[in-house]
Structure 1
Amino acid sequence: MKIQSNGVSLNVRVKGDGELTLVFLHYWGGSSRTWHHVTGILAGRFQTVAVDQRGWGESAAGSGDFSVETLADDVQGIIDTLALKRYLIVGHSMGGKIAQLLASRRPVGLAGVVLVAPGSPGPSIFPLEQRKMMAHAYDTRESITATVAQVLAGKTLSDADLAQVVEDSLRGAPEAKVAWPMATMMEDIRSSVAHISVPVLVVAGEWDKVDPVELLSSHVLPHLPGANQTVLPRTGHLSPLESPVELSALIDRFAHHCGG
């Protein structure tokens, strides 16, 4: 379904039913479809809401503002429009940085946050030259498949999932592709995330080359009061596609801990 939020048309995929809703935010280059294995597993117990963030999937790019604040406002508008009473936010990579800022605002109804290989609340440690290269990682089918094989995935993706990743990455708005590595990932929201007051679970991939376990331990966990970290064995950065059963089990267990 399409929802007007914060001045832009955003595509949202809703499945399942339950007293607790899980709101899913994808990585830079992905879409709501990134979560299709996970939502397929969890929709039997929860309502799931997977968002195409602005400039990705079937969502409009809007005015070209891709700041963390704007992206968080987009998601809050979706939550308000759907009148969600009680929910968890599950954010992956870029979506994890958005989830952190949204949670720091202590919105009504938020029961907890799952951060899957999340972007750091502080500025990225990637040097400028590396970030310039990242800005072109999704230019062509060949560059995307190389990025998946060499950087993003620890396991070999199925043909269908790889085709989906390529399609989602190609489809992204040019300004959205550039915004994350060149601007949004450099934003500093550390003072804000200190205000998060709900339980937080950080999920790392053992083989993640983008946000490795050590980086999350040193640059994310210290800024999140009371957060716990767990590691998915033999998994790279794309855990929703690489290890969806294991990730779903972690989310389910955490939701139960939060009263879901």
Structure 2
Amino acid sequence: MNASIQSINMPKWGMSMSEGKLVKWLVSEGDAIKPGQEIMEVETDKITNVVEAQDAGILRRRVAAEDETLPVGALLAVLADASVADSEIDQYVDANRVVAVDADGETSLISKIQVDGRTVNIMDSGGESDKAFLLIHGFGGDLNNWLFNFEELAKHERTIAIDLPGHGQSSKDVGDGAAVNLIAAVDGVIDALGLKAVHFVGHSMGGMVAALAVIGRPAVAGSLTLLAPAGFTTPVNEAYLASFIAADDRKEMKRVLSDLFAEPSVVTRDMVNDVLQYKRIDGVNAALGLLASNALKAPEAGGLAAQLSGLGCPVRIFWGAEDKVIPPPQSDAVYAAFDISVIDGKGHMLHMEAASDLNAAILQQLATD
């Protein structure tokens, strides 16, 4: 089979995804495709998002039709140079059209670690290396927030995502809600897994936690990537926190979640239902209230910029220009002191909204070892 033929397959966004619906093609047969170009919209039971090309080439064949639901891994399209004969494209499509869903145990990457009497839920993939990416979600999120990042990062290095206390499948006990309780969970995971070099990636409140964890034990830090970090310079939108905690019906929760994205239409009914289901677990709202009042307002959560200025490991920071929850810094001095990138047209969840660019930037941190 011609090695210059490249397939575009149904992606796997998150461990629970088994299929997706091709909502809309954004390119036509015969178009020259570049890496990172948006080529189609795919809908899962949690979110609708664009699929970006990973390879360059001419789109020779659109195999899947709009509104067609297909399993993860199914062939959606074929890229190839103009020199590749149509007959070879036909053979490739016939040989690869039906792809079985990856069934090597969706829950095999999920495990639970006991840290100071609390259960911390993690997702771990990419081998048994003592070096890893460690992904830390934000307020009200969970490890599934990394659904557009986890699989790609794990192709290159061991990748671990955690549910912070009070979130996901971890214990809902956050103590007094101080940041030290969250940092202890991160430290406990690092110790339990025997990690010696960690590339920390933290979003929002998770960015604050990642930064404080690095400051507390710099010897283990290979790099630090922060996405709209809380406590850096810009205060968290307290009205958003209050609204998220208070929301208890679909209409209100959809309005609240829409503030996370530059394009509110990505907030699906299933996403809203998932968050409401999480918030109705015993102890969740109390935990969120404590974290909002203490972790996100504690003295150690403020002025991270000053604390990070002398850090020995590489630090990269990203913000969405349209972030309504933690807007980008306004000080020119901060931009002069740090490697900060502000991405136009993106909101607070830029690791979902600009996944391809963020994945590439995070992977560049491996070169800092």
- Normalized against structure 2, the TM-score is what? 0.61
**1-10 vs 134-143, which moves further:** 134-143
- The offset of 1:55, in angstroms, is 1.1
- The offset of 1:194, in angstroms, is 5.4
Coordinate RMSD, CA, aligned? 2.7
Matches within 5 A, 1:1-260: 1-17=111-127, 20-62=131-173, 64-121=175-232, 124=235, 126=237, 130=239, 133-134=242-243, 136-149=245-258, 151-155=259-263, 156-157=265-266, 159=268, 163-164=270-271, 166-168=273-275, 170-172=277-279, 173-189=284-300, 190=303, 193=308, 196-213=311-328, 215=329, 217-218=330-331, 222=334, 227-256=338-367, 258-259=368-369
Larger relative helix fraction: 1
Q: Measure, in 1, the Cα distance between the counterparts of 2:345 and 2:255.
A: 20
Q: List, as ranges, runs of 4+ consecutive aligned residues in structure 1 with deviation greater than 4 Å.
A: 191-195
- The offset of 1:181, in angstroms, is 2.7
Larger relative strand fraction: 2
For residues 118-171 of structure 1, the C-alpha deviation after alignment (integer angstroms, 9 at most, x for no partner) is 1024683656xx36733535433322211122x111123274xx6346414641
Contact 1:90 1:113 in 2 (8 A): yes
Q: How many residues align?
A: 249
Per the alignment, do residues 176 and 139 of structure 1 end up closer, same or farther by CA in structure 2, a change over 3 Å counting?
farther
Contact 1:67 1:184 in 2 (8 A): yes
- The offset of 1:195, in angstroms, is 5.7
- The offset of 1:196, in angstroms, is 3.1
State the identity as a percent. Answer: 25
- The offset of 1:245, in angstroms, is 1.4
For residues 207-253 of structure 1, the C-alpha deviation after alignment (integer angstroms, 9 at most, x for no partner) is 2111222x3x549x84x995311122321101122221121111112
Contact 1:31 1:168 in 2 (8 A): no
- The offset of 1:64, in angstroms, is 3.3
Contact 1:3 1:78 in 2 (8 A): yes
SS, match of residue 207 in structure 1: coil
**103-112 vs 30-39, which moves further:** 103-112
Contact 1:207 1:237 in 2 (8 A): yes
Provide structure 1 residue ranges, at least 5 long, that are not aligned to the other structure: none
Per the alignment, do residues 6 and 218 of structure 1 end up closer, same or farther by CA in structure 2, a change over 3 Å counting?
farther
Contact 1:206 1:235 in 2 (8 A): yes
- The offset of 1:174, in angstroms, is 1.2
Q: Measure, in 2, the Cα distance between the counterparts of 1:132 and 1:153.
A: 15
- The offset of 1:200, in angstroms, is 0.8
Provide structure 2 residue ranges, at least 5 long, that are not aligned to the other structure: 1-110
- The offset of 1:69, in angstroms, is 1.2
* Letter of the 1:167 counterpart: D
